[in-house]
């Protein structure tokens, strides 16, 4: 911003009005999108974000609860669009669509729609919506094509900064190309219109704001908001001891080369209120679709540490430097496949946070389930209506125990904002399946002074033939870790029971063809425990057993808590067992 804008004197009332008005614009865009969309992934699951972005890529605001690993990289889309068209290449009424992995760095289902905002003929901002389409052709149906996809062309339709509307007029050939190459044109093109409507509403609200207060005042407020957000974040970091902090984790494999672990490593350097997150020692890019091109892992972790409840804007990240070299699994070079791009990002976030546990022992939790959740994806053609259908839901898992309380249960990952699971009623109404159960997994929580949250078992029976996505999560060996003596949480899995069979299997494959009458359980992981399980209040353990969160055996073996047949607490036996368990331990460090 020019010096004239930054030097403008602001009264505090106007500053506060605009400080709250900008996120309100994004929030109203989100409400409009959710109300008008066709796709359950948007109106029910809320797998989207809405935002305002400057022409230089600076994030002005996003909706509350917007998917955090979406919004982390919106600026690069705008910067790329500006390089492509230049300031003079945008006109009022233009609508652009993009998902190209060379810049967007995600699976192709995540479609960004954006529109320029002009005030008195000057391009000042863009309104943008990134949302999950249920299909973009190729093998993309559902949550994406999966790790086994070898390139983007197999995955689906690539859209590289294309104008679908020019000066308010539909570019019909572009519209028809999209329509003819996706399986659910009514849904996806309906979502396109919903995204456009949200952007138009955002432009209208921006026009109201700029007309009332003037360009110089609004832009000066934005500059001041960025500065104040930066100061808040630096104040948090400056309270931490300068130094280097490191942690490692891994994925079992990349989904193609079985048994070849994917190393993940975070080095966090704190120096005088500035933080550097170095992910250089993570795996190099893979031939499987687990790659991404994103700063999301570092930015989500940093935001969670510095100001998790504050509105996010570009000032939120000024005190953060991120090092991810080209060719890294999180800075992969196009056309490296990215169909399963988001699978490792929650674990990367957890690894960064784990590194900071010694610096923030009173703040850092144990690991959460570390995945985007249990993906419920079943699709096919309904023989009665002859219409294609797709079942979609994201089932949450357990979060890690914390320094003062237990972890949350059945909650989506740290990367997903207010994403939630699909309602049972909505799933059964729209698709030929029955949800036989959705319940917390007993004993899936990591034991600790403060236990982890519990994962979920969701059981679904399909009434028609179709295809299930049942690929392994990649986190069966690296369980959600505990901190300061806490135990690991349970891991995720997909289970299948054929009609008439008596034993469950684990197919570990996407687009798995099944006949009618098959049962599938989507199982999510639990959170790690925080602190020594033998220090947990025995009454709390008893209560967990009564509530069927922990088994009687789990209470005894993990916590040293003995219960009588009526589930009342046996104080004498508990004290004796805990003393025996403590005496039998080998001396070891209590840290992570």
Residue 497 CA: distances (Å) to CA of 381, 469, 521: 21, 14, 9
CB 422 within 8 A of CB 395: no
What pLDDT is stored for residue 145 in this prediction? 64
> What would the DSSP string read from start to end of 142-185?
SS-S-TT--SHHHH-----SEEEEETTEE-HHHHHHHHHT-S-H
Q: Encoding tokens for residue 333?
A: 């070079």
Torsion sign over Cα 463, 464, 469, 472: positive
Terminal CA-to-CA distance of the chain, rounded, Å?
Answer: 45
CB 510 within 8 A of CB 469: yes
For 515-563, the pLDDT digits (tens) are: 999 999 999 999 999 999 999 999 999 999 999 999 999 999 999 999 9
Record the pTM: 0.94
What pLDDT is stored for residue 591 in this prediction? 47
DSSP structural state of residue 307: -
- The rounded distance, in Å, linking the Cα atoms of 506 and 526 is 19
Residue 292 CA: distances (Å) to CA of 22, 23, 264, 413, 527: 30, 28, 14, 17, 25
What pLDDT is stored for residue 451 in this prediction? 98
Q: Encoding tokens for residue 444?
A: 């899936």
For 418-449, the pLDDT digits (tens) are: 898 989 999 999 999 999 999 999 999 999 99
For 147-157, the pLDDT digits (tens) are: 778 899 999 99
Q: Encoding tokens for residue 351?
A: 């690894």
Q: At what angle do helices 538-546 and 552-559 cross, to 10 degrees?
A: 160
- The rounded distance, in Å, linking the Cα atoms of 301 and 415 is 9
CB 278 within 8 A of CB 246: no
DSSP structural state of residue 311: P
Residue 446 CA: distances (Å) to CA of 163, 355, 362: 50, 19, 19
CB atoms within 10 A of CB 272: 9
Q: Encoding tokens for residue 272?
A: 């005088």
Mean pLDDT of 312-336: 97
What pLDDT is stored for residue 233 in this prediction? 96
Mean pLDDT of 241-265: 91
**Is 118 strand, coil or helix?**
strand
Residue 320 has pLDDT above 80, yes or no: yes
DSSP structural state of residue 96: E
Residue 589 has pLDDT above 70, yes or no: no
- The rounded distance, in Å, linking the Cα atoms of 340 and 347 is 14
- The rounded distance, in Å, linking the Cα atoms of 554 and 564 is 14
For 406-418, the pLDDT digits (tens) are: 999 999 999 998 8
Lowest-confidence pick of 85-94, 266-275, 339-348? 339-348
**Is 381 strand, coil or helix?**
strand
- What are the phi and psi torsion angles at 380 (to 5°)? 175, -155
Residue 590 binned pLDDT confidence (cut-offs 50, 70, 90): very low
> What would the DSSP string read from start to end of 226-237?
HHHHHHHHHHHH
Q: Encoding tokens for residue 119?
A: 């005030």
CB 64 within 8 A of CB 46: no
What pLDDT is stored for residue 443 in this prediction? 98
CB 99 within 8 A of CB 158: yes
Residue 8 has pLDDT above 80, yes or no: no
Contacts of 502 by beta carbon, 8 Å cutoff, 6+ apart: none
For 348-398, the pLDDT digits (tens) are: 999 999 999 999 999 999 999 999 888 999 999 999 999 999 998 999 999
SS3 annotation, 447-507: CCCECCCCCEEEEEEECCCEEECCCCCCCCCCCCCCECCCCCCCCCEEEEECCCCCCCECC
């Amino acid at each position: 911003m020019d010096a004239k804008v930054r030097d403008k004197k602001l009264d505090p009332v106007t500053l506060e009005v605009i400080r709250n008005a900008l996120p309100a614009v994004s929030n109203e865009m989100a409400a409009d999108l959710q109300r008008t969309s066709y796709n359950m992934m948007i109106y029910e699951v809320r797998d989207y974000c809405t935002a305002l972005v400057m022409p230089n890529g600076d994030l002005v605001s996003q909706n509350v609860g917007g998917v955090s690993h979406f919004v982390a990289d919106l600026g690069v889309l705008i910067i790329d669009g500006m390089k492509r068209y230049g300031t003079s290449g945008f006109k009022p009424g233009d609508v652009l669509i993009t998902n190209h992995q060379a810049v967007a760095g995600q699976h192709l289902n995540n479609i960004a729609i954006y529109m320029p905002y002009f005030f008195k003929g000057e391009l000042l901002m863009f309104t943008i919506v990134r949302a999950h389409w249920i299909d973009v052709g190729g093998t993309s149906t559902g949550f994406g094509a999966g790790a086994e996809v070898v390139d983007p062309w197999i995955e689906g339709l690539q859209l590289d900064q294309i104008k679908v509307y020019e000066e308010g007029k539909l570019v019909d050939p572009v519209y028809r190309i999209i329509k003819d190459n996706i399986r659910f044109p009514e849904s996806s093109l309906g979502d396109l219109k919903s995204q456009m409507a949200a952007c138009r509403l955002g432009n209208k609200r921006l026009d109201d704001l700029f007309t009332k207060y003037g360009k110089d005042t609004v832009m000066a407020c934005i500059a001041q908001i960025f500065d104040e957000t930066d100061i808040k974040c630096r104040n948090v970091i400056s309270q931490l001891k300068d130094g280097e902090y490191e942690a490692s984790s891994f994925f079992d494999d990349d989904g193609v080369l079985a048994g070849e672990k994917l190393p993940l490593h975070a080095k966090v350097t704190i120096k005088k209120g500035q933080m550097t997150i170095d992910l250089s020692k993570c795996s190099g890019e893979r031939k499987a679709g687990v790659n991404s091109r994103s700063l999301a892992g570092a930015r989500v972790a940093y935001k969670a540490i510095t100001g998790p409840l504050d509105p996010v804007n570009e000032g939120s990240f000024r005190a953060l430097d991120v090092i991810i070299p080209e060719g890294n699994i999180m800075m992969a070079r196009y056309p490296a496949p990215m169909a399963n791009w988001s699978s490792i990002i929650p674990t990367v976030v957890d690894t960064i946070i784990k590194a900071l546990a010694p610096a923030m022992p009173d703040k850092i939790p144990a690991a959460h389930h570390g995945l985007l959740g249990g993906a419920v994806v079943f699709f096919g053609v309904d023989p009665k209506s002859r219409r294609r259908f797709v079942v979609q839901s994201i089932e949450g898992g357990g979060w890690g125990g914390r320094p003062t309380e237990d972890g949350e249960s059945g909650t989506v990952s740290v990367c997903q904002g207010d994403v939630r699971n699909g309602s049972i009623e909505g799933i059964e109404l729209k698709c030929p399946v029955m949800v036989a159960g959705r319940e917390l997994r007993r004993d899936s929580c990591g034991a600790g002074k403060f236990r982890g949250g519990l994962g979920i078992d969701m059981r679904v029976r399909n009434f028609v033939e179709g295809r299930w996505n049942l690929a392994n999560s990649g986190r069966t060996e690296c369980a959600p870790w505990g901190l300061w003596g806490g135990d690991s949480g349970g891991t995720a899995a997909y289970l299948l029971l054929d009609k008439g069979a008596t034993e469950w299997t684990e197919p570990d494959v996407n687009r798995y063809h099944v006949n009618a009458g098959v049962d599938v359980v989507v199982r999510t992981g639990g959170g790690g425990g925080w602190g020594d399980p033998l220090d947990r209040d025995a009454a709390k353990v008893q209560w967990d057993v009564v509530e069927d969160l922990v088994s009687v055996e789990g209470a005894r073996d993990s916590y040293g808590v003995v219960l009588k047949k009526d589930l009342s607490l046996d104080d004498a036996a508990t004290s004796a067992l805990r003393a025996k368990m403590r005496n039998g331990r080998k001396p070891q460090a209590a840290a992570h």
